[in-house]
Structure 1
Amino acid sequence: MTAPTLPGRLELPALGTSALLLVTEPERLERAAAVLRAELAEIDRVCSRFRADSEISELHRAAGRPVRVSPLLAEALGAALRAAELTGGLVDPTVGAQVAALGYDRDFAQIQAANQRASRIPRQQTGGRSVHRTPARPAPGWWRLRWDPEHRELLLPRGIALDLGATAKALAADRAALRAADAAGCGVLVGLGGDLRVAGGAPVGGWRVAIADDHRVAMDSPAQTVAVTGGGVATSSIAARTWLQAGQRRHHIVDPRTGDNPAPVWRTVSVAAGSCVDANTASTAAIVLGHIAPDWLARRGLPARLVNPTGQVAHTAGWPMTEEGA
């Protein structure tokens, strides 16, 4: 009996998180890896709000006048605006100022380092002072953007800051997986943080994907393992990427209706869909929606796993109900 071939594997840091590439034919790993690296570099160059030289930063500096954007930024904007329309604004690209006001105003590694430094300073050295921030305000609204997709032209009103993070990373996973599978001629899995896309032929039994609050520990201590044969899976969590602001625990998901973090009804939401962008859109919207999220997902036929802060799990639309160890 011949032992099954292990997939080729590559991990690297990217987009403020980690990237994982698996291929069904190990000897074709480098072909797929070249595509992945190129896609990650391009999405960062175009969509990063932390780079002064990114295209989206240039767009912010040109606020108030129409700008013709690159094909990739046009695709990212189209994905973000589609997500906003499909969710009724629950996922909204105009939350840039709101996200920054919550403290997510630089690369996440820098936020973590600043929090670690602050935690080492004795309270008496600060005089016990508290830092207060400006009260949260709702996002301006995606419908304020004047977008002409035919001519790839956007007029960004002054005072609006874009944050494409909710969809751009998922778009990168979709693009990289599809193009890498085509270049390598084999099955491919691309994971970017909690966003995952598969393309090409899957291994026998599907790709075994570990689900957990934090993708960094999912392989070592999965809450559940599922088989994925096509499409995308996204996990949104309020437990993994957090920091302290004025003594209050914050995270990267913002309710555009309030400009603040949503109530912690769900600790983690995982969704499967035809693409990673659609899965990410739904998982983010579910965190924002709170108690009505299961019904919202079920009406759309989206398989999902939702975990509340005490660890209780709900499933929708055929998501496997067997938990790890059950």
Structure 2
Amino acid sequence: MTTAPAVARFRALGTTAEVAVTDPARLPAAEAAVTAELAAVDDACSRFRADSEISRLHGRRGTAAPVTPLLAEALGVALRAAELTGGAVDPTVGAALEALGYDGDFEGLDRDQPGPLTPAGPVPGWWRVRLDPLRREVVVPHGIRLDLGATAKALAADRAAERAARSAGCGVLVGLGGDIAVAGQVPPRGWGIRVGDDHARTDPDRDPAIAIHGGGLATSSTTCRFWRRGGRLVHHIVDPRTGLPAAPVWRTVSVAAGTCTDANTAATAAIVLGDTAADWLTGHRLPARLVSRDGRVTTVAGWPDDEREDRPR
């Protein structure tokens, strides 16, 4: 008889954090390690806090500024994501998100905002941010506001899972909304995860369950974080080519990869790429599940075949 993983849940980084362990006695140690790691990431990367390191960095735009090892890593991850996706995932979308009305923590956001929805135009471009990882210095040009939302939460999941596995000495799963990372010992049948359109409310009768044995899984969605601006429904995933929300070709994209960071990068890019996303994911050999606006499911690159390709749901 196997022991079911023990689970703790709490609020962090604007979402529900979940910590699961293979040894219930180690849950407090794992939870403490995850809590500490998430607090450190929030201190470094939150654009909603005036006292965060990235907010202070914006005050030094145009000059070489030293950064902590954590922010240097987070910036490096964001710039790598931009390069690997051809700019589909771009950390210079901060001003565009603010223009859309996403200018504070989502829980406190006005969901019906007045004023016109004004196209911001193409974002400044990730290649303009110059990071020296060895000296841990970065130059953010004038006019650029960084937003690491597409990668920092996934990086936090990866870092937290590794830290918790070392601290607790057992297998650990860390879930942050749609971002999931695992480390350490794996349960005999893998970590069971239910994949749905809304990470806060999964439906056992509709949402498929899969098992992962390492790495990470991420789901990007246009259906969880949305609001109205000038009477128009908008969501939080910006197309860097336009500065507007990505066309809602897919309501969710879920991707499995070697790390949660890579999975999230690919899932976010797929939302932006729209009609070409399935081919792009296939070309990169990334198992993925894409759900269209009308509920049709497409699976690619070895995603578990419990659902036929293009089956309505």
Coarse TM-score class (shorter-chain normalised): over 0.9
Q: Matches of 2:24 and 2:248 in 1, distance apart?
A: 42
Choose which of 126, 130, 139 in structure 1 pairs with 2:123. Answer: 139
Percent identity over the alignment is 60
User: Letter of the aligned partner of 1:208 in structure 2?
Assistant: G
Over 3 Å counting, the alpha-carbon distance change for 1:288 and 1:311 in structure 2 is same
Of 236, 243, 246, which aligns to 1:259? Answer: 243
Matched, 1:274 2:258: yes
**1:174 matches 2:172:** no
What code does the residue aligned with 1:214 have? D
2:307 and 2:207 mapped to 1: Cα distance? Answer: 6
Question: Equivalents in 2 of 1:26, 1:220: separation in Å?
Answer: 24
> What does residue 173 of structure 2 align with?
189
1:239 maps to what in 2?
223
Query: Distance in 1 between the 2:176 and 2:251 partners?
Result: 19
Question: Do the aligned partners of residues 221 and 248 (structure 1) sit closer, same or farther apart at CA in structure 2, a change above 3 Å counting?
Answer: farther
In structure 2, C-alpha distance between the alignment counterparts of 1:316 and 1:135, rounded to whole Å? 33
Q: Distance in 2 between matches of 1:192 and 1:12?
A: 10
Deviation at 1:158, TM superposition (A): 0.7
Deviations 1:54-110 (A, max 9, x none): 000000011111100000000000100000010011000000001111111100001
How far is 1:220 from its partner? Answer: 5.1
Q: Which runs of 4+ in 1 moved over 2 A?
A: 133-136, 219-222
**2:57 equivalent to 1:43:** no
- Counterpart in 2 of 1:319? 303
Q: 2: distance between equivalents of 1:257 and 1:66?
A: 27
Contact 2:96/2:243 (<8 A) preserved: yes
Amino acid in structure 1 at the alignment position of 2:179: D
1:135 maps to amino acid: P
Counterpart Cα distance in 2 of 1:20 and 1:221: 22
Given that 1:211 and 1:222 are in contact with CA atoms closer than 8 Å, whether structure 2 keeps it comes out as no
Q: Structure 2: which amino acid aligns with 1:100?
A: E
Deviations 1:5-25 (A, max 9, x none): 121110000111110000000
CA contact (8 A) 1:186 1:201 kept: yes
Contact in 2 for aligned 1:80/1:167 (Cα 8 Å): yes
Provide the residue aligned with 2:138 in structure 1.
154
Task: Give, in angstroms, the shift of residue 49 of structure 1.
Answer: 0.3
Aligned-residue offset at 1:34: 1.0
Q: Is the 8 A contact 1:210 1:222 kept in 2?
A: no
TM-score normalised according to structure 2 size: 0.96
> Could you say which residue in structure 2 is the equivalent of 1:226?
210
Q: Distance in 2 between matches of 1:134 and 1:246?
A: 9
Report the residue type matching 2:224 in the other structure: A
Partner Cα distance (1:192, 1:56) in 2: 21
- Contact 1:46-1:54 at 8 Å conserved across structures: yes
Partner of 1:98: 96
**Count of aligned residue pairs for this structure pair:** 309
* Residue equivalent to 1:124: none
Match of 1:109 in 2: 107
Deviation, 1:183, is 1.1
Q: 1-side partners of 2:138 and 2:188: how far apart?
A: 45
Deviations 1:106-157 (A, max 9, x none): 000011xx33xx59xxxxxxxxxx6214322111000011211110101110
Superposition CA RMSD, Å: 1.5
User: How high is the TM-score relative to the length of structure 1?
Assistant: 0.92
Q: Report SS of the residue matched to 1:240.
A: coil
Aligned to 2:52: 54
Letter in 1 for 2:194: A
1:264 Cα deviation (Å)?
Answer: 1.1
Q: Distance in 2 between matches of 1:88 and 1:46?
A: 26
SS of 1:267's partner is strand
Partner of 2:284: 300
How far is 1:39 from its partner?
Answer: 0.5
Partner amino acid, structure 1, of 2:267: S
* Contact 1:197–1:275 (Cα < 8 Å) also in 2: yes
Bigger Rg, which one: 1
The alpha-carbon deviation at position 323 of structure 1 amounts to 3.9
- Asked if structure 1 preserves the Cα contact closer than 8 Å seen for 2:297 and 2:307, the reply is no
Q: Secondary structure at the match of 2:151?
A: helix
2:197 corresponds to which of 180, 197, 213: 213
Is 1:79 aligned with 2:77? yes
Which segments of 5 or more consecutive residues in structure 2 lack a partner in the other structure? none
